[in-house]
Structures are given as C-alpha cells and as structure tokens.
Structure 1
Amino acid sequence: MSTLNIAIAGAGGRMGRMLVEAVLNADDLRLSGALGIAGSDGLGQDAGAFLGKASGAIVTSDLAEGLKGADVLIDFTRPEGTLQHAEYCAAHGIKLVIGTTGFDDAGKAALKAAAEKTAIVFAPNMSVGVNVTLKLLELAAKSLSTGYDIEIIEAHHRHKVDAPSGTALKMGEVIADALGRDLKECAVYGREGVTGERDPSTIGFATIRGGDIIGDHTVLFAGTGERIEISHKSSSRAGYAQGSLRASRFLADKSTGLFDMYDVLGLNQ
C-alpha cells in the first residue's frame, strides 16, 4: 500500500493531538496538513511541536492550505465545522473520516450528499472495541427481547457539549433496530417527579458529565432475578485514534460512498 497523506481537523485539541501523534507514528501514513480555527491553540505552529517533533505540517485555518495534497481528512470537531469541511472535500476529491457527533437530520443528509462525490467513513465512535460492543448489543437485544428493561448509561468529561453521547445514541439505535422498534418513539432521556411505572417497551438513557472521564458506556438489561451489563470503558483516546487510522486505510481504494465502522471491521457480514 502506498503512503496515505492525512490531514487532521482540530489539530490543537485533545483528540486532534492524539491523531497527530498516531499519524506521525504510523509507517504507512504521512501528516500532510493540520487545521485549526482562528484563535485556537497552536495556530501557525508545526502540528508536531507539542511532541518536540517537526512534522512539516503547519496548523492553519485556511482550508485550501491545510488540505493541500491530502488523501484523507480526519475530523473530530463540531457539526458546523465538519459540514464545511465535507463540502470542500467533496468538491476536491478528498476522502473523510468523521468522528464528530451531534449532527441533526439535516446535517446527516448533507454528509450523505457529500458521500456521492467522495468516500466517507462516518461513525459516532471510531474505537474498534466500541464497534465490537455494538455487535454484542445487537445479539443481546435479540436474545433478551422480552422480560428485560433496557437502560443506557454514559459518562464523559465536563467539556463534552452534546448529550446523550453519539455512542450512546448509536447503542440505542442498534438495540431498537434489533427489537424492531423506532428509537425516536421509544427513547426516554430523563426522569423526574412521579413518572409512573416503567413502560417495558422504552429504552432509557442516563447521562453523567464530570472531571476528565474519556468515555464510559454501559447497557443494562434488567430482568427478573438477573441483570446483564455490557460495558465499554475508555482510559485513553488512543483507541479512537487507531480506529480512525484503520478507517483511513479502508478508504484508500474507495472513490465514493458512505461507510461506517462496521464496514471497516467487516461486521456487516
């Protein structure tokens, strides 16, 4: 496989720096560019400066400059920024790996349209472990379709701006699909006061925000006399970064199309 040129959006952020480090440590990838918004950390500096390395990629807010020569852009920013990046990449034949969460239906439709012009891997969580967990949840939901109440509990750091997390929502979607339900109709996102007995057809969500928690997700299947818990806990963003690199390699021979991590990992079979 020839060397892939990778650009990183949000290169000065926590996830961006993890991605920069991962790319610089990969033998088959080259950091070709780095994007940051005006006023962001590291703007105008070498993207590898925080590691004491000279990568040759200067963090810039200019899309044309930051994406010059890029084969793939990896983007874990905010929906409004990602949509701008997707429009540019679609127009210039640059592939995308998108880990951004919080898109509304219009945003998801815009990404689907962009995928008609370039290849995109879009997933709420790029971790290989999380996506294997999603497959396990699909199996569990089918086997525990009656007699079990389903609750999804997620915890993240105090800086996360959307809730529930994209991963928690994806877990809910996978479970709802396996049960033949529509998550929009059966999700319960908060409980307060006298709520009455629990509707057994619902899927509940609980959100925790605090400290520097990277990301914890637990799905509870609570039955009579027993409960099953399926959990994934992240102690580092390294798993997200490595999954993103795997997704970038997957796109190497793709020209158009919208893919997810199930496609990358062969879990759709």
Structure 2
Amino acid sequence: MSLRIGIHGATGRMGQALIQAVAAADGARLAAAIAPEGTPGYGLDAGSMVGLPPVGLSVHHDLAAAIAGLDVLIDFTRPEGTLAALALCQQQGKALVIGTTGFTPEQKAAIAAAATQIPIVLAANFSIGVNVVLKLLEQAGKLLNEGYDVEIVEAHHRHKVDAPSGTALRMGEAVALGLGRDLKTCAVYERYGHTGARDAQTIGFSTVRGGDVVGDHSVLFLGDGERVEIAHKATSRMNFARGAVRAAQWLATAKPGLYDMPDVLGL
C-alpha cells in the first residue's frame, strides 16, 4: 500500500518540487495538495500545475480535511502556517515533516511538545549533501579549534523572508559543537561602523539576498597564511524535495519523537 503524502504549501517553489518528488518516489502517492485560496495554481490539478499528467487531485485550502486522509504531511510554508498544521496533525495523530524555517524559541518548544505524541522530522535542510557537510563542519571545528576565525556566508533568492537561513544557522551550530562553544553566545549577525578588532571566539554570519539563487552556503576557517572553505551550492530544489519525501517515508514506521535528517540518513 502506497504511503499517502500531503503537501502543505503546494503552490510555492518547494511545494511544486515536492509534488514532482512524490510522483517519482516508489511506494508513495500524493494524497493532498494544500495552499491558500487565491494563490497562483489554486484549484488546478496538482499534477498539471507542475507539468505532470493529471493526478485527479485539485489544490485546495481545507487543511483539516486533507490531513484526515493522509499518513504524513510535508509542510514548507511559514511558521504560522506550520503551527496550524502541527495542531491538526497532533489532534489526528498524523506524522509531520517540517521544512519551514524562522521559528521563535517558543514555536520550537511547541513543536517539541507535539513530538511527544506524533513523529516529526524538523530539519533546516533536507539535502543529503548539506547533511554530509554538517558532519564535516563538526569535525573541522574540532580540528581547527585554535588560530582560525570562522565566518559563514549564505545567499538565497530575493523572496526568502528569514535571515540568516536555517541552514546557515545549523552550520553554525555544527561548527560551534566542534569548537566546544555555544552559538547563542558567540554568533555575530551584524557588523556596521567602528566594530573594533574581531573577537576570536565569535562565529560571524553574512547574508546575501537577490535573484533566483536556490541556496549557497560557505563556511570559512580563516587562519594566518591559509584559508579552509567548506561549501555547498544548490542549483535545484529537487535535492531538498527528494530528501523531504525520504524523511516522510522514514517517518511511516517511526515512534513519536522529534527527529532531524541525520536520524533519517543514519548519520
């Protein structure tokens, strides 16, 4: 029996990639495509909207009804939309994959509380390549823990609303873990004017927004006489979409809990 997957945010860039990824996945089928009423693509057949053969399933806005007929919901929306989906999934005992970023600490706590009742994968980035990079960054932090300044530079398309990206923050956490530091106390997100000399214990973040950049991330370990760079550049959203579908399939047999992509990938 095919896993019934729903997409919340189906008309967005990631939502459309997810529809294609579900269509290409073995043992899975699209069971719902949810988006706000009036968005481009609303009311269309979900398959036709992304250039695939019709699937006999229209994009609609009734989230509660959609979740009732699912095994797993994949949510790539905004924090307020995700929290609405979270409450419904919790009520109906449905698994949830969350790709939304920009949550407040309080919102993250609400997700963690719901995960005591339902299985949830919450990841800053679903790309397998990015998750391998995160492991490399942790190791680099352990080995380059003296005499190197760390800077993280990320670039995304002009429509992205949060900064730094969730992936950049997750990379910072991986480096900080390797260094034995707490990102909450050592991160620097803004520099302007007379800032004084750089504090060697900090991890700096720089953000670029423009064009149609899918997602570029570079972590620089800057020492005297050398520079080590670990980078990931995404040219297609399908990498993220395939990872999210893989997470949904993994959740089908998971117990309630809050998981990340390393759990899904066995890292």
TM-score of the two chains, using structure 1 as the length reference: 0.97
Residues 41 and 59 of structure 2 are in contact (CA less than 8 Å); yes or no, is this contact kept in structure 1?
Answer: yes
SS of equivalent residue, structure 1 residue 67: helix
Moved more, 56-65 or 206-215: 56-65
Partners of 2:57 and 2:109 lie apart in 1 by: 32
Alignment of 1:1-269 (within 5 A): 2-50=1-49, 51-267=51-267
Give the AA of the match of 1:37.
Answer: P
Identity among equivalent pairs (%): 59
Residues 6 and 34 of structure 2 are in contact (CA less than 8 Å); yes or no, is this contact kept in structure 1?
Answer: yes
1:194 Cα offset (Å): 1.2
Moved more, 79-88 or 57-66: 57-66
Partners of 2:29 and 2:146 lie apart in 1 by: 50
Query: Any gaps of 5 or more consecutive residues in structure 1?
Result: none
Partners of 1:261 and 1:27 lie apart in 2 by: 20
Encode CA deviations 1:13-40: one digit per residue, 9 max, x unaligned.
1110000011112231110001101221
Residues 35 and 59 of structure 2 are in contact (CA less than 8 Å); yes or no, is this contact kept in structure 1?
Answer: yes
SS of equivalent residue, structure 2 residue 213: coil
Encode CA deviations 1:183-219: one digit per residue, 9 max, x unaligned.
1111111111111111000000000001000000000
Residues 82 and 100 of structure 1 are in contact (CA less than 8 Å); yes or no, is this contact kept in structure 2?
Answer: yes
Partners of 2:201 and 2:56 lie apart in 1 by: 55
Partners of 1:125 and 1:266 lie apart in 2 by: 16
Give the AA of the match of 2:227.
Answer: R
Residues 21 and 241 of structure 2 are in contact (CA less than 8 Å); yes or no, is this contact kept in structure 1?
Answer: yes
Partners of 1:64 and 1:91 lie apart in 2 by: 10
SS of equivalent residue, structure 1 residue 59: coil
SS of equivalent residue, structure 2 residue 236: coil
CA distance change for structure 1 residues 52 and 252 in 2, over 3 Å: closer, same or farther? closer
SS of equivalent residue, structure 1 residue 151: strand
Encode CA deviations 1:44-64: one digit per residue, 9 max, x unaligned.
221112214211222111112
Partners of 1:64 and 1:190 lie apart in 2 by: 41
Partners of 1:55 and 1:24 lie apart in 2 by: 9
Give the AA of the match of 1:44.
Answer: G
Partners of 1:34 and 1:5 lie apart in 2 by: 11
SS of equivalent residue, structure 2 residue 18: helix
CA RMSD of aligned residues (A): 1.0
Give the AA of the match of 1:31.
Answer: L
Encode CA deviations 1:132-185: one digit per residue, 9 max, x unaligned.
000000000000001000000000000000000000001111111222211111
State the aligned residue count.
Answer: 266
Partners of 2:169 and 2:207 lie apart in 1 by: 11
Residues 140 and 178 of structure 2 are in contact (CA less than 8 Å); yes or no, is this contact kept in structure 1?
Answer: no
Partners of 1:58 and 1:32 lie apart in 2 by: 10
Partners of 2:23 and 2:246 lie apart in 1 by: 14
Partners of 2:23 and 2:81 lie apart in 1 by: 24
1:67 Cα offset (Å): 2.0
Query: Any gaps of 5 or more consecutive residues in structure 2?
Result: none
SS of equivalent residue, structure 1 residue 133: helix
Partners of 2:213 and 2:135 lie apart in 1 by: 24
Residues 186 and 201 of structure 1 are in contact (CA less than 8 Å); yes or no, is this contact kept in structure 2?
Answer: yes
